[in-house]
Every structure is written in C-alpha cells, then in structure tokens.
Amino acid sequence: MKPLQRFQTGAGRIIYSFPVQSFPTLVNNIYVIDDGEQLILVDSGSGMERANADLLAGFAAIGEQFGRPMSLADIGAILITHGHIDHFGGLPFIRRYTDAPIGVHILDRRVLSNHEERVVFSYRRLETFLEGAGVSAEQREVLMSVYLFAKTYYRSTPVQFLLEEGQPTVGGIGVYHTPGHCPGQVCLHVDDVLLTADHVLSRITPHQAPESITHDMGLGHYFDSLDKIERLTGFGLGLGGHEDPIEDIPARIRAIRAAHDERLCKVMEICREPKSIAAISRDLFGNVDSYHVLLALEETGAHVEHLHQRGELVAANLEEIERTSRPVVRYVRG
Ligand SMILES: [Zn+2]
Ligand SMILES: [Zn+2]
C-alpha cells in the first residue's frame, strides 16, 4: 500500500492521507484535515478488522512521521463522502473512541442510519434487476449472497448533520453534490484542494449502476455531475477516495467521459442482435468471477439503461414483456 502522505493547501491547512485495506482487493484513502484548531476525518474505511487496524495505524503514523500526535479521540467532526460500505462501514468502530458528529448528504443519510431497512429494499430491487437482466435463478442466489455479506455486518449509526451543496460545512469546507456513482456522493472543497471521493478517481472509471436499482444513480446523473466539477476552476489538486492524487481534474474527467462514451458505443455494436443485459455484460467484460460478476452486470445495466432511456436501444421482445410478469428484456438498436 501507499505510504502516509501530507499535503498543504494554499491557505495553509494540512491534509494527511493514508490507505486502509477495506477488503482483500480494495484499498481506501482516509483523509484527516488539520486546520490547527480542529481535526476533521473524511471517510472511515469498511469496518472490517484489517481496515480498523489500518485506521489506528494511520493515526499513529501521523504522530511518528510528522510530529503531530493524534488519535481518533481527537477528531472534531466526521464527514462521509457517500453511502458505500468502504467509506462509512468503520463508523461503529470509530464510535468506540469519539462522539464527534457525523455528516453526510441527505440522500445517503438512511444508508448510514437506517441500514437494516435500506438493505432489504436494495436487495429486492437488485433481485428484480437481475431477473430482468436474464441472470439464472442459480446465479442470482450466489450474487445476492455476496451482496448481503458485504452489507450485513454494519450496525446503523445516527447522523448528526447534513452536507448540503452551497452550505459550507465544518471548518468552512465547501460541498458539491455529485450524484451518479452514489445518490449522496459529495466532493469536498478544502481551499484549493478538491476531495473528489469516488466521483473522480485517478485510474479507474468509478463504478456505475442503474437508477432502476437506486434513485439518483445512473449514467445521466453521473455525466451531469462530471460537467459540474469540470466547470469549477481554482483547484490545484484532486484527492480521491481510492488510488493516487489527481494533478489535472478536468483532464481526468474528459478521460472518464471518453471511456464511458466508448463503452456506450460498444453496447450499441453488441445490440445489433437482441441481447439481455447478462449477455451484453459477458460480451463487454468476458467471464469474470464472484463479486465482479455483480459489478459487471451493474455497470452494463447502467449503460443499457442510459441508451434505452434515450431511445437508442429498444426492447426487441415487447409482446413477451407485456404477457410475462417478470420478463427478461432483450435490447436491440432502435
Ligand atoms: Zn463508492
Ligand atoms: Zn469507494
């Protein structure tokens, strides 16, 4: 994993960054903003044992390497960039050390605070999506159990304040609401640094899922949010929820948009013949395994939904869809 890093904003605030291993193949960046008066923690890691240990080690390392001793007990506020488990799952663990208020965007609040209910609703919507995508009953069962594993060890944790666009939050930190990757995704503006969370990442294109599963997700919202951030000026540096610092945020946004445009074109090519989302996903991503099957299906679903909403793709089996209660939809170029 990457080492602990220290950044200084144009206004002299310090941002510490260190990695935590959230899941065996996923590393998250944790940020601690130090303005000399209070410490603000951005994101929590997944809450898995290894991630919690990395969190404690990261705080200890800041004291050792930079001579600024601190611990979780010294945190003044906690900002959660969005409602994905690798970003908020560590909150119950952090609560053992501090009562610092937790802030999140209103569209992701219930993911943190009414988690058990939200899991049930998401589970049902995901099941409907997978059925319509043409995933076999047997494979659906495997995918749903993988989904539930990642979602059930977290305990609901109350949220104390909301992050709202146009309303600076603790420490005067600016908030941009950037739905798409997640309904309540925010980017945080710290002087001339933008914490881009999972909206803009340095190497991978952030994961997309259809809005038929979760409102305010989907490619249309995501593209609008990319435009919003691309129009901003005055940022020297982007710091993402994963991977490396981003030197040129607009250039990275253009590359991400181009990658999606290319994928949309591929889907149009694949749909010269009528195909289900499961079949399109296999053509796009090949045979992937375990959790990646679900990610590939969601990513494909987001692109197909985008094209279908805009009339580029149409249902090839409309009569069957009309007659059947839970039909598999086959898409073809309109
Ligand atoms: Zn995310
Ligand atoms: Zn993430």
Ligand 1: distance of its center to the CA of 81 in Å? Answer: 9
As a whole number, the mean pLDDT across the chain is 95
Domain 5-114+156-259: give its CATH code.
3.60.15.10
Single out the residue of 72, 71, 104, 70 nearest to residue 88, CA to CA: 104
- pLDDT at position 150 over 70: no
Q: H-helix or E-strand containing 304?
A: helix 291-309
Does the global pTM surpass 0.85? yes
Residue type, 272: R
User: What is the distance, to the nearest Å, from the Cα of residue 225 to the centroid of all Cα atoms in its chain?
Assistant: 13
Position 271 scores a pLDDT of: 98
Distance 208 CA to ligand 2 centre (A): 12
d(CA 105, CA 124): 24
Residue 220 pLDDT grade (very low, low, confident, very high; cuts 50, 70, 90): very high
Least confident of 34-43, 99-108, 139-148, 307-316: 139-148
Q: Which residues surround ligand 1, an ion (CB under 5 A)?
A: 84, 198
Across the range 169-181, mean pLDDT stands at 97
Of the listed ligands, the closest to the CA of 108 is 1
Would you state the pLDDT for residue 320? 96
pLDDT > 70 fraction of the chain, expressed in percent and rounded: 99
For the CA of 209, the nearest ligand: 1
What is d(CA 53, CA 75) in angstroms, rounded to the nearest whole number?
17
Name residues whose C-beta falls within 8 Å of residue 142's C-beta, 6 or more positions apart in sequence. none
Nearest ligand for residue 185 CA: 1
130 in Cβ contact with 295 (< 8 Å): no
> Residue 303: pLDDT band by 50, 70, 90 thresholds?
very high
**Cα 327 to chain center, whole Å?**
30
Dist. CA 313–CA 268, nearest whole Å = 8
Percentage of residues of the chain with pLDDT beyond 90: 90
Q: Are 26 and 70 in contact (CB under 8 A)?
A: no
Q: Residue 51 C-alpha to ligand 2 middle, in angstroms? A: 13
What is the reported pLDDT for 151?
65
Cα-to-centroid distance, 86 and ligand 1 (Å): 7
DSSP 60-127: HHHHHHHS----GGGEEEEE--SS-HHHHTTHHHHTTT----EEE-HHHHHHHHSHHHHHHHHHHHHH
**What mean pLDDT comes out for the span 287-293?**
85
* DSSP notation for 24-52: TTEEEEEEEEE-SS-EEEE-----SHHHH
Between 287 and 10, residue with greater pLDDT = 10
Tens digits of residue pLDDT in 229-239: 999 988 889 99
Distance between Cα 77 and ligand 2 center (Å):
20
Q: Where are the domains of the chain?
A: 5-114+156-259, 122-149+271-333
Question: d(Cα 201, Cα 205) in Å, to the nearest integer?
Answer: 7
Q: Which pLDDT score is estimated for 280?
A: 98
pLDDT of 106 strictly over 80: yes
Which pLDDT belongs to residue 215?
95
For residue range 20-37, list pLDDT tens digits in order. Answer: 999 999 999 999 999 999
Write out the two tokens for 318: 């409309």
pLDDT-based confidence at residue 217 (cuts at 50, 70, 90): very high
Bridge partners, residue 17, by sequence: 5, 31
